[in-house]
Amino acid sequence: MSSLLAWLPWLVVYLLCLYLLDLLAHRRRHLPPGPIPLPLIGSVHLIGDQPHRSLARLARTYGPLMSLRLGAVTTVVASSPDAAREILQKHDAVLSARFVGDVVGDHARYSVASLPIGPRWRSLRKIMSTELFAPHRLDALQGLRSDKVRELAAHIARLSRDGTAVDVGRVAFATSLNLLSCTIFSRDLTSLDDHGGSKEFQVLVGEIMDECGACPNVSDFFPVLAWADLQGLRRRLARLLARMHLLFNAEVDRRLRGREAGEPRKEHDDFLDVLLDVAARDGAKADLDRDTLRALFTDLFLAGSDSSSSVVEWAMTELLRNPTSMVKIHEELTQVIGSTRSMKESDIDLLPYLQAVVKETFRLHPPGPLMLPQQAQATVRVAGYIVPQGARVMVNLWAIGRDESIWPEPDKFMPERFLGKTMDFRGADFELVPFGAGRRICPGLPLAIKVVHLVLATLLNEFEWRLPLEVERTGIDMGEKFGVTLTKAVSLCAIATPI
């Protein structure tokens, strides 16, 4: 014990020297401004369990482009449209490499979201843009999506007759999953009803999202420790993904057996048929081996279901908190669609207030408040500062959406701010880029836009909504749960009455 105490002063001196050297290196490298890091942990202690909010507060002190040392890693954060444009457009070629969290493990070797920019990534992105998410392909499958929203309306009508409140997030999540599964496999993989077996896939997706969004992961802050997986996140996610892959393997095997047996094709090919056709046509050039197919389906379900349902739940929450906006959107839906028919995807362009509600929801509650981090492939000068090779780079979409220099009354829900304006979320207007921009923009954006508008309009066109009496007295809990997707900490439950 005495020998250990004798070494303690030297350890303190050693840590102090490291600390001073780190400060000198920070100034010499001319990094963006940021908080003074502590020895070893850097600024990890400043992040907390709501990093989008913590980083927004820090940006008010250190500016729209700031740097932090998080553990052993230099991280650069953009918190304004101009800084985001520098990263996602001007220096996109250098800063578009993806940082892959340790939790993802082997999945990153096959996932389009994680692959480095290169021939394989370009090949898969081309397949997604020209074969999967092309307008003609999505239009051909809109009948399947219409069936799913009709089932959603029927389910809510049953709950209404029983006098049961609707868990808006849960039904939106189940519907989003089935919208995706019908588009990909032409069949449901979950159910709106509370039957144990039918909910297995829905529960599995939720568990995977929880593991992916676990924060903080020590392995990401201290890469030298990643081999140990100290929190067990990588091992747990690998087991969950293995269960999901078994299900996807079964779907692919079933379709291949049907083809070999000469079963007739459906009127419109789903995504699985399209991908199998491309693989058969182009062979190895298509880069569509079984591992890649599984990774692609995994990405589609994880990115598409939770984010779409989260936007729908937040939009319904804001509308219930803002009766004037609820009245306006009901008036528009009544005028354009009426109560005699169901919502169609072709109606979206005729509903400017609905579109404004969705944009305002994306601004206030972006599904991914911090864009998936990217990594500098080389040292580059951004906005006059040096971003060193290997630094992680993030864009704080939540901070941009709450910036009072851009948005008057930024904390207020006002869809009217988008009426009569051309601002959109397809990657050109950096004030609103919930799907990202540049090379790494979300390839599923065309489908996600259809799903969000279709589900939200169906909920609002066919039902009047009110809060349970207890919630009316206490107010809606607006707490957030940070993860891969920014969801409500307490689910929104509301009472629906058919119109």
How many Å apart are CA 342 and CA 154, to the nearest integer? 12
Give the gyration radius of the chain's Cα atoms.
24
Long-range contacts of range 417-423, CB-CB < 8 Å, 24 or more positions apart?
417/356, 417/360, 418/355, 418/356, 418/359, 418/360, 419/352, 419/353, 419/356, 423/359
Question: Is the model's pLDDT at 297 over the cut of 90?
Answer: yes
Query: For 332-342, how does the pLDDT look when each residue is reduced to its tens digit (9 = 90+)?
Result: 999 999 876 78
Token pair recorded at residue 137? 């392909």
The pLDDT of residue 7 is 53
Query: For 371-382, how does the pLDDT look when each residue is reduced to its tens digit (9 = 90+)?
Result: 999 999 999 999
End-to-end CA, the chain: 77
Are the C-beta atoms of 483 and 368 separated by less than 8 Å?
no
The pLDDT of residue 467 is 95
Is 22 domain-assigned? Answer: no
Is 61 domain-assigned? Answer: yes
Beta pairing, strands 380-382 & 385-387: antiparallel
Is 3 domain-assigned? Answer: no
Report pTM. 0.91
Is 23 domain-assigned? Answer: no
The domain of 290 spans 31-498
Is 2 domain-assigned? Answer: no
**Count of domains observed in the chain:** 1
The pLDDT of residue 1 is 47
Is 254 domain-assigned? Answer: yes
Sign of CA dihedral 317, 415, 306, 144: positive
All residues at 6 or more sequence positions from 98 whose CB lies less than 8 Å from its CB, including other chains:
113, 114, 115, 116, 372, 373, 374, 375, 440
Cis peptide leading into 498, omega within 30 of 0? no
Mean pLDDT for the chain overall? 88
Is 260 domain-assigned? Answer: yes
How many Å apart are CA 85 and CA 438, to the nearest integer? 9
pLDDT above 90 covers a percentage of the chain that reads 56
How many Å apart are CA 17 and CA 366, to the nearest integer? 41
Tally Cβ neighbours within 10 Å of residue 443: 23
Is 18 domain-assigned? Answer: no
The pLDDT of residue 450 is 92
pLDDT above 70 covers a percentage of the chain that reads 92
The pLDDT of residue 172 is 92
Query: For 406-424, how does the pLDDT look when each residue is reduced to its tens digit (9 = 90+)?
Result: 999 999 999 999 999 888 8
Concatenated DSSP letters of 140-168: HTHHHHHHHHHHHHHHHHHHHHTTPPEEH
The pLDDT of residue 4 is 44
Residue 119's domain is classified under what CATH number?
A: 1.10.630.10
Are the C-beta atoms of 453 and 355 separated by less than 8 Å?
yes
